[in-house]
């Protein structure tokens, strides 16, 4: 570990914290439906959309109506994406004549992008045309991100409102977030990326001559526009197979820092927005503080492991950090930081191959996803996932002091706790169930490149990433098979919507409750004690749930490596 490495981590953390309030203010305006400076230009577009679609944005919905609208929208857009991918061969903007995708791969990809997972069982530059990249995938980068923020807004209203059955209007939330937040920032961000060296062109390839005089054909395309929303919306699906390790997606250290900051930007803003929505910004800062404790702990372990290097190579007389699978233009610190950022959020973009990390270094990104990606988390999904643990923590605190638990002015009763637990257990049931199935069936065992604990880790990471809607992978697994395409698509759908619907049900339940003023006997939910309880509950739940599986994979591999043996 180096001083410059820690300086990068601390600078990134400081800028991230500084972004929370300004972005939160903008999000709060959209949450309330207030005018912004962009309404003068984009207001007519919003109103035209409502007229064409027959939507009344002032007509609010119950949580059930909100959930039905959200689910129907996801099904419709998934079917449209599937059709485009299957018909790619006969559609325009396909100068290389790429064929349409197979049925199982098209289905997997459609579900992947609808659920904000962006798992890619294909190489983008050799599988998808420019039209498929722009029309089938990029819209989901906006819409799936906006859906997560919309659901978060609905939960915020559940906490903030009193004795009502309404939690907002899904169509209005989706439209406002897309039009006034994601599109403007992504447009400016894409231009910044172009200035930083990221291509943006309708051309399919360019010819180049190397320094040795050899001829080379390079694939290009509308990369910057996809890269911008890929990061901002915590989507993660890359234009190229190696994602943000590719110099056309992530050419310099400055661009690398901007990409990491954009992954966290909206997530940290939503914590401040939540505090503002419930009338106490200290609540938002407390949540963000707990997130940062978990984040910095994960970065420290990952950086330490990668900087320490491989003990087997050290014994062979080859000291140094672990640079396998990493870009030399980023180095150990930036690679470790990026790995933790992208899995603490639900982004899944990678600038290094997690499969090549040290066992414990690779375990931290995996564990981040297994916690539900609540350490800042995906746009919207991070904050509402974290609030599920907050409800669980305040319930446990209430049991300890012997009174009905309360959180931000609402009594937390049996219905809310049951729904929160239901949403939390969806992830481990799907992750561990899918991993167990793949680890015993021949079709599943054919996927991992490695055997023993590392091969098990490749399977475990695949189902962790899919269910957690992250999309990154231990690159050693061959997942483009009917078995993995089908099973991982189910995992992605379950991990996204079997969590969203209980969250909306909690929002509806809370919105109907009266406000309960804080008293001297109320458990404080803003101080160091509360932050410690939150962190403890999250680690206990995650540790107890996933420790046996992790012991069979990365922990077993680390023990063997320290003993000087390999599997």
Higher pLDDT pick, 425 / 210 = 425
Between 178 and 134, the more confident residue is 178
Q: Which long-range contacts (CB under 8 A, 24 or more apart) does 243-250 make?
A: 243/349, 243/350, 243/351, 244/338, 244/349, 244/350, 244/351, 245/327, 245/350, 245/351, 245/352, 245/353, 247/197, 247/329, 248/198, 248/199, 248/218, 248/220, 248/223, 249/198, 249/223, 250/198, 250/351
Mean pLDDT, residues 511-534 taken together? 88
Instruction: Assign 326 a pLDDT band (cuts: 50, 70, 90).
Output: very high
Burial 446-482 (b: 16+ CB within 10 A, else e): ebbebeebbbbbbbbbbbbbbbbbbbbbbbbbebbbe
How many angstroms separate the CA atoms of 301 and 557, rounded?
16
First to last CA, the chain: 28
What's the confidence (pLDDT) of residue 522? 76
pLDDT digits (tens, 9 = 90+) for 229-288: 999 999 998 888 899 999 999 999 999 999 999 999 999 999 999 999 999 999 999 999
Token couple for 142: 């906006």
Amino acid 171: pLDDT: 96
- What percent of the chain is modeled with pLDDT above 70? 99
Burial of 78 (C-beta count, 10 Å sphere; 0-12/13-18/19+): buried
Phi first, then psi, for residue 62 (nearest 5°) are -75, 170
Distance from CA of residue 279 to its chain's centroid?
A: 27
Write down the pTM of the prediction: 0.94
Helical pair 381-401 and 528-552, crossing angle rounded to 10 deg: 110
Confidence of residue 193 (pLDDT cuts 50, 70, 90): very high
d(CA 65, CA 71): 10
Tell me the per-residue pLDDT of 163-179, one tens digit each, with 9 for 90 and over: 999 999 999 999 999 99
Sign of the CA dihedral running 265, 271, 272, 274: positive
Residue 566: pLDDT band with limits 50, 70, 90: low
Q: How would you classify residue 36: left for phi > 0, otherwise alpha for psi between -120 and 50, otherwise beta? A: beta
Could you give the CA distance from residue 229 to residue 136 in angstroms, rounded to a whole number? Answer: 14
Q: Please check whether residue 182 is in contact with residue 145, taking contact to mean a CB–CB distance below 8 angstroms.
A: yes
| Mean pLDDT over each residue of the chain, to the nearest integer | 93
Specify which residues 166 forms β-bridges with: 62
| pLDDT tens digits, 37-70 | 999 999 999 999 999 999 999 999 999 999 999 9
Over the stretch 63-96, which tens digit does the pLDDT of each residue have?
A: 999 999 999 999 999 999 999 999 999 999 888 8
Cβ neighbors of 241 (< 8 A, separation 6 or more) are 120, 122, 123, 124, 125, 126
At residue 567, the pLDDT reads 55
Highest mean pLDDT among 81-85, 214-218, 309-313, 517-521: 81-85
Whether the per-residue pLDDT at 307 is higher than 90: the answer is: yes
CA 498 to chain centre: 16
Q: Is the pLDDT of residue 520 over 80?
A: no
560 vs 489, more confident: 489
Residue of 428, 406, 420, 432 whose CA lies nearest to 501: 420
Look at phi and psi of residue 381 and say left if phi exceeds 0, alpha if psi is from -120 to 50, else beta.
alpha
Share above pLDDT 90 across residues of the chain, in percent, rounded to a whole number? 77
For the segment 485-499, the average pLDDT, to the nearest whole number, is 96
- Please write down the long-range contacts of 423-426, taking CB distance under 8 Å and 24 or more positions apart: 423/385, 423/388, 423/498, 423/499, 423/502, 423/503, 424/372, 424/388, 424/389, 424/392, 424/541, 426/467, 426/494, 426/495, 426/498, 426/499
Q: Tens digits of per-residue pLDDT, 438-491?
A: 999 999 999 998 888 999 999 999 999 999 999 998 878 888 999 999 999 999
Give me the pLDDT at residue 311, please: 87
Residue 489 pLDDT: 96
């Amino acid at each position: 570990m180096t001083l410059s490495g820690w300086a990068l981590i601390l600078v990134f953390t400081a800028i991230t914290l500084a972004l929370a309030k300004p972005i939160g203010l903008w999000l709060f305006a959209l949450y309330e439906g207030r005018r912004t400076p962009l309404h003068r230009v984009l207001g007519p577009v919003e109103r035209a959309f409502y007229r064409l679609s027959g939507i009344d944005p002032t007509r609010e919905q119950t949580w059930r109506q909100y959930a039905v609208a959200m689910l129907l929208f996801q099904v419709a857009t998934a079917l449209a994406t599937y059709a485009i991918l299957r018909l790619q061969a006969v559609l325009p903007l396909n100068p290389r004549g790429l064929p349409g995708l197979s049925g199982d791969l098209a289905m997997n990809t459609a579900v992947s992008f609808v659920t904000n997972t962006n798992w890619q069982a294909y190489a983008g530059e050799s599988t998808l045309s420019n039209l498929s990249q722009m029309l089938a995938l990029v819209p989901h980068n906006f819409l799936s991100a906006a859906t997560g923020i919309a659901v978060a807004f609905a939960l915020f209203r559940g906490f903030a409102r009193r004795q009502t059955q309404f939690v907002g209007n899904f169509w209005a939330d989706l439209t406002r977030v897309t039009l006034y937040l994601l599109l403007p920032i992504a447009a400016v961000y894409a231009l910044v990326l172009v200035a930083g060296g990221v291509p943006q062109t309708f051309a399919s390839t360019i010819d180049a001559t190397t320094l040795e005089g050899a001829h080379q054909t390079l694939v290009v395309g509308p990369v910057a526009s996809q890269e911008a929303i890929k990061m901002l919306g915590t989507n993660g699906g890359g234009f190229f197979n190696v994602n943000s390790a590719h110099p056309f997606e992530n050419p310099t250290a400055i661009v690398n820092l901007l990409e990491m900051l954009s992954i966290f930007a909206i997530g940290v803003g939503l914590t401040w927005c939540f505090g503002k929505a419930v009338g106490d910004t200290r609540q938002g800062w407390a949540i963000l503080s707990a997130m940062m404790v978990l984040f910095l702990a994960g970065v420290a372990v990952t950086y330490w492991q990668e900087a320490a290097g491989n003990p087997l190579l050290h014994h062979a007389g080859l000291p140094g950090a672990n640079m396998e699978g990493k870009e030399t233009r980023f180095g150990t610190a930036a690679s470790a930081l990026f790995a933790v950022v992208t899995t603490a959020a639900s982004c899944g973009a990678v600038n290094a191959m997690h499969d090549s990390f040290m066992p414990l270094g690779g375990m931290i990104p995996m564990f981040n996803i297994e916690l539900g990606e609540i350490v800042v988390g995906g746009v919207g999904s991070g904050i509402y996932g974290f609030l599920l643990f907050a409800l669980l923590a305040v319930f446990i605190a209430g049991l300890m002091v012997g009174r009905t638990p309360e959180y931000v002015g609402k009594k937390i009763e049996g219905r809310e706790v049951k729904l929160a637990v239901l949403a939390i257990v969806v992830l481990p049931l799907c992750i561990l169930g899918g991993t167990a199935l793949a680890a015993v069936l021949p079709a599943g065992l054919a996927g991992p490149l490695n055997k023993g604990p590392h091969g098990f880790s490749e399977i475990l990471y695949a189902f962790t990433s899919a269910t957690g809607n992250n999309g990154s992978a231990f690159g050693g697994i061959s997942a483009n098979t009917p078995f993995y395409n089908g099973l991982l698509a189910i995992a992605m759908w379950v991990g996204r919507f079997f969590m969203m619907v209980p969250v909306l049900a909690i929002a509806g339940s809370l919105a109907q409750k009266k406000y309960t003023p804080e008293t001297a006997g109320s458990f404080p939910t803003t101080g160091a004690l509360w932050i410690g309880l939150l962190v403890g509950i999250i680690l206990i739940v995650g540790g107890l749930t996933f420790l046996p599986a992790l012991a069979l994979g990365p922990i077993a591999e680390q023990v063997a490596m320290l003993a000087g043996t390999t599997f």
